Amino acid sequence: MSSPSPPAPRGRGAVSGRASTRFNLPGREVDGDWLDSRAELEEDLPPLRTTVTEEAARSILSFNRSPDIGFDRSINAYRGCEHGCIYCYARPTHAYLDLSPGLDFESRLFVKPQAAPLLRKTLAARGYRPAPIAMGTNTDPYQPIEARYRITRQILELCLETRHPVTITTKSDRVLADLDLLRELASRKLTAVAISVTSLDAALSRKLEPRAASPMKRLDALDALVKAGVPAHVNVSPIIPAITEDWIERILEQAAARGVKGASWIMLRLPHEVAPLFREWLDTHFPERAAKVMSILQQMRGGRDNDPNFHTRMKPQGVWADLTRARFRKAKARLGMESGRIELDCSGFIAPEKDGQIRLL
């Protein structure tokens, strides 16, 4: 007999605190007695509170050699993400901390307050060679706690000071809080911003990504970026078959109407613990479609929930993938969104001295 499905916590993406078993973290199962007791309560349980722990990091710039992504270095000043996107491929990173990739990932956050000074030290190192730094590749640099810590702004200030190129990927209109810096960086060909939009349905967005900005706020942020002269890109990602795929053309139309020239898409990926968490989410919110969604995903991933291999992990195969690819290509051509790639300028980089000053010569 299968365990009962846990109730979905208010304002959270994950349905449960499902734990990893990869790093000696004990598995956790739904307690039927607890569910029975909870059902007898006159009121819902209080919402799950977010906690933030400051982390004393030793470095902040991460380098990678992945052959199928377009950057070789990134900064992630936050661990975990309060946006709570159920599909987030970064969820498994919380397992390294012996925490749940489910509810812990979106409610037990870690912050690196010394990110900017650590980056300054790295940029000052002898032999450092500049290349665009990617922000937002793991967790969102503009998630809610950025309003308190302002680490992303500090990093942008340093990038402007040193003339170092930086790219941003986000789901938040909080990016506009740094429009002054982004405008100046863009004038020197030092930045580009991508905003991810999964659908135009606010109700669906609250289920998929409960604490991210609404779809219209993200589109308005793209509009403001374009008007400020900041290269803006829309990511229609992830695309979830039978859940969000109907929105592809309409998202591109809305972005194009705001002057956005660049667009991309990524099919849903379900690495490690993300797969069971997503299955729980489907069973809770779309039980009538759950089997269909997973069947289509598996058809595109060689019969598995996920394809972890370089090159193929980002390129789903099969009829469904080919259809999505064709739809996207046709819509971009119709809307004049063919030219979207931005080349950033690394030639003006000025390395800081270790004491914090900029080298003049």
Pairing of strands 133-135, 73-75: parallel
Across the range 275-283, mean pLDDT stands at 96
* pLDDT recorded at residue 17: 67
The first and second tokens of residue 279, run together, are: 């299955």
* pLDDT recorded at residue 9: 74
Q: Distance between CA 161 and CA 358 in Å, rounded? A: 8
pLDDT in tens, 165-181: 999 999 999 999 999 99
pLDDT in tens, 10-57: 778 788 766 555 655 555 444 444 444 444 554 555 567 899 999 999
Across the range 116-135, mean pLDDT stands at 96
pLDDT in tens, 143-162: 999 999 999 999 999 999 99
* pLDDT recorded at residue 66: 81
* pLDDT recorded at residue 1: 39
Q: Distance between CA 56 and CA 59 in Å, rounded? A: 9
Confidence of residue 70 (pLDDT cuts 50, 70, 90): confident
Which overall architecture, per CATH, does domain 49-335 show?
A: Alpha-Beta Barrel (3.20)
- Which residues sit opposite 169 in a β-bridge? 194
Supply the mean pLDDT for the chain.
89
Confidence of residue 345 (pLDDT cuts 50, 70, 90): very high
* pLDDT recorded at residue 25: 54
* pLDDT recorded at residue 21: 52
Closest by alpha carbon to 193, among 201, 203, 185, 204?
185
Share of the chain above pLDDT 70, in %: 86
Strand order in the sheet with 232-239: 61-63, 73-75, 133-135, 166-170, 191-196, 232-239, 262-267
Residue 165, sorted as left (phi over 0), alpha (psi -120 to 50) or beta, turns out to be beta
Across the range 62-72, mean pLDDT stands at 84
pTM beyond cutoff 0.85? yes
Q: Which of 150-154, 309-313, 335-339 has the highest mean pLDDT?
A: 150-154
Structure-model confidence comparison of residues 79 and 16, the more confident one: 79
